Amino acid sequence: MSVAAPGMPQSLRHHIWQTLKLAGPVVIARSGVLIMMAVDTAMAGSAGGDELAYFGLGLSPTIALTLLGLGFLLGVTVLTSQADGAGEPERAGHIWHVGLGHALVVGTIFAIVCQFGIAILLALGQAPDLAEGAGRVMHMLGWGLPAVMVFVACSFFLEGVSRPAPGMIIMLGANVLNFGLNWLLIHGNSVAGITFSDAMGAEGAALATTIARWATALIALTYIWFMPSRDRYRVRGGGPSAPEAGKRIRRIGYPMGLGMFIETAAFMAMTQMAGHLGKAEVAGYQIAHNLVALVFMSAIGIGAATGVRVGNAVGRNDPHGVRMAGGVGVGLVVIAMILLGACFVLIPDLLTGLYTSDAAVAATAIGALAVASSMMIFDGSQGVLVNALRGLGDVWFPMAGQFVAFWLIATPVAWMLAFHMEFGTPGLMGGIYAGCVAATTIAAFRFNVISRRPLRRV
Tens-digit pLDDT profile for the chain (458 aa)? 444 444 455 677 777 887 887 777 877 776 777 678 778 877 887 777 778 778 878 887 888 788 788 878 888 888 888 777 778 788 888 888 889 999 999 999 999 999 998 998 888 788 888 888 889 999 999 999 999 999 999 998 998 888 888 988 999 999 999 999 988 888 877 665 565 667 778 888 899 999 999 999 999 999 999 999 888 888 887 544 556 777 778 877 778 778 777 877 787 788 778 878 877 888 888 889 888 988 888 888 898 889 888 988 888 888 888 999 999 999 999 999 999 999 999 999 999 988 888 888 899 999 999 999 999 999 999 999 998 998 888 878 888 998 999 999 999 999 999 898 988 889 999 999 999 999 999 999 999 999 888 887 76
What's the pLDDT at 227? 92
User: Which DSSP helix (H) or strand (E) runs through 121?
Assistant: helix 117-123
Which among 157, 56, 48 is positioned nearest to 100, based on CA atoms? 157
Q: What angle do CA 206, 207, 209 make, to 5 degrees?
A: 65
Domain-located, residue 455: no
For residue 256, being part of any structural domain is answered with yes
Q: Rounded to 5, what percent of the chain is helix, strand, coil? A: 80, 0, 15
User: Largest alpha-carbon pair distance within the chain?
Assistant: 68
Identify whether 456 is part of a domain: no
Contact status, residue 90 vs residue 238, Cβ threshold 8 Å:
yes
pLDDT at site 4: 45
Residues in Cβ contact with 222 at an 8 Å cutoff, skipping those fewer than 6 apart: none
Instruction: Give the chain's domain count.
Output: 1
What separation in angstroms does the CA of 400 have from each of 22, 160, 162, 386, 442? 28, 25, 29, 12, 10
Can you say how many angstroms the Cα of residue 424 is from the centroid of all Cα atoms in its chain? Answer: 26
Question: Is position 1 within any domain?
Answer: no
The pLDDT value recorded for residue 7 is 47
The amino acid at 10: Q
CB-based burial of residue 221 (10 Å sphere; 0-12 exposed, 13-18 middle, 19+ buried)? Answer: middle
Please give the Cα distance from 367 to 444 (Å, whole number): 30
The confidence score (pLDDT) of residue 2 equals: 41
DSSP 43-66: HHHTT-HHHHHHHHHHHHHHHHHH
Note the pLDDT of residue 253. Answer: 76
Report the sign of the C-alpha dihedral through residues 94, 107, 295, 322, in that order: negative
User: What letter would DSSP give residue 165?
Assistant: H
Residue 7: inside a domain: no
Cβ 19 vs Cβ 309: under 8 Å: yes
Flag whether 457 is in a domain: no
Alpha-carbon gap, residue 74 to 149, rounded angstroms: 11
Residue 4 lies in a domain: no
Name the nearest CA neighbour of 138 among 225, 66, 38: 66
Task: With beta carbons less than 8 A apart as the criterion, state whether 298 and 333 touch.
Answer: yes
Contact assessment for residue 38 and residue 349, using Cβ atoms and an 8 Å cutoff: no
Quick one: pLDDT at residue 369? 95
Report the C-alpha gap between 254 and 164 in whole angstroms.
24
C-beta of residue 232 within 8 angstroms of C-beta of residue 394:
no
Q: Say what angle helices 12-45 and 319-341 make with each other, to 10 degrees.
A: 40
Look at residue 416 in the predicted model and tell me its pLDDT: 94
367: in domain = yes
DSSP-assigned states of every residue in 190-259: EETTEE-S---THHHHHHHHHHHHHHHHHHHHHHHHH-TTHHHHTTTS-SS-HHHHHHHHHHHHHHHHHH
Amino acid at 189: N
Residue 65 belongs to domain spanning: 12-450
Beta strands 190-191 and 194-195, pairing class = antiparallel
Residue 81's nearest CA partner among 395, 443, 392 is: 392
Q: With CA atoms as reference, report the closest residue to 239 among 129, 452, 94, 30.
A: 94
pTM (predicted TM-score): 0.72
Specify burial of residue 305 (Cβ count, 10 A radius: 0-12, 13-18, 19+): buried
DSSP category for residue 186: T
pLDDT for residue 44: 80
